[in-house]
Structure 1
Amino acid sequence: MTYTHHLTLDQPYAQAVESVRAALSEQGFGIITEIDMRATFAKKLDADAAEEIGDYIILGACNPSLARQALAAEPQLGALLPCNVIVRAGGDGSLVEAMDPRVMVQLSDSDQVRVVAEDADTRLGAALATLSRSA
């Protein structure tokens, strides 16, 4: 089962993170959570674990109007929000992976949720397409 959309950017990690932020913003997503996995592993595990994971950030992207619609349809969908977008250093650039919002539809039979998931997927797809063109 595929649950992410992904691409590789020919950009150094820090630049890729900023490019992803900008592309998401253009599609109406704000970043409401941010988890630096390297720093978390260093703090909670050890330096070896931090080095092993490398540069890896999880951005919690949220489009408030889409989140409002989803939560109005099914309040428990909050457990699946925000849409996580990963940026991590790779051998040939930076890897970007975005959660496929249509996964929510597999857990809900609501037509309202389907509409929101399709809209979110279209917007995330457009953000990734923008990144792909600029790479």
Structure 2
Amino acid sequence: MPVLNAYLDATFDDAVARTRNILREYGFLELATTDVQAISRAQIGAHIEDYVILSICVPRLTARAVSTDRRAGLLLSWSVVIRSEGPGTLVEAADPALLVGAITIPDLESAAAQTRTILARALDELRKPTAGEAVSEHGRPNRCGYEPSP
């Protein structure tokens, strides 16, 4: 499955915080967080690396697709996996434009393509080094052209 990804030379906790901040800056809303490591340990006694899944969406694109066809909600939250990988952290997401091929819904392809573009930009931003950043988290420009929900 084609994925969008970024490898960060950062601790897991720092990578999770940075990923959340950048996704928010790009207009994504975090719907849920699944701590796979904690669930695996608690439910089946398995010990795996640090591993979380963020369920995200772009509210305006989701609203547009759902207003066209209510079934669009079946495919309009995207998973971003953040996991320890070697000395750093890997951030991965399945390509939204490819996932919508499972169902034909008017306007869904457009919303998925736009989501893919925004998600790819956010992951590109994650790849940039953080050392020496002169602008605070709240002072960064809104890169996607609209204000995310608080």
TM-score range, shorter chain: 0.7 to 0.9
1:98 corresponds to which residue?
A: 93
- Structure 1 stretches of 5 or more lacking a match? none
CA-based RMSD of the aligned residues comes to 1.6
- The two structures have a TM-score, normalised by structure 2, of 0.79
Number of residue pairs matched by the alignment: 130
Q: Which amino acid aligns with 2:70?
A: P
Q: Which amino acid aligns with 1:60?
A: S
- The two structures have a TM-score, normalised by structure 1, of 0.87
Alignment equivalent of 2:107, drawn from 95, 112, 123? 112
* Preserved CA contact (<8 Å) 2:8 2:90: yes
Matched, 1:133 2:132: no
1:73 corresponds to which residue?
A: 68
Q: Which amino acid aligns with 2:22?
A: A
More helix by share: 1
Counting aligned pairs with the same residue, the percent is 32
- Structure 2 stretches of 5 or more lacking a match? 131-150
Q: Distance in 2 between matches of 1:130 and 1:94?
A: 15
| Offset from partner CA, 1:71-112 (integer Å, 9 cap, x none) | 223322322231110100010300100121102431244451
Q: 2:13 aligns to what SS in structure 1?
A: helix
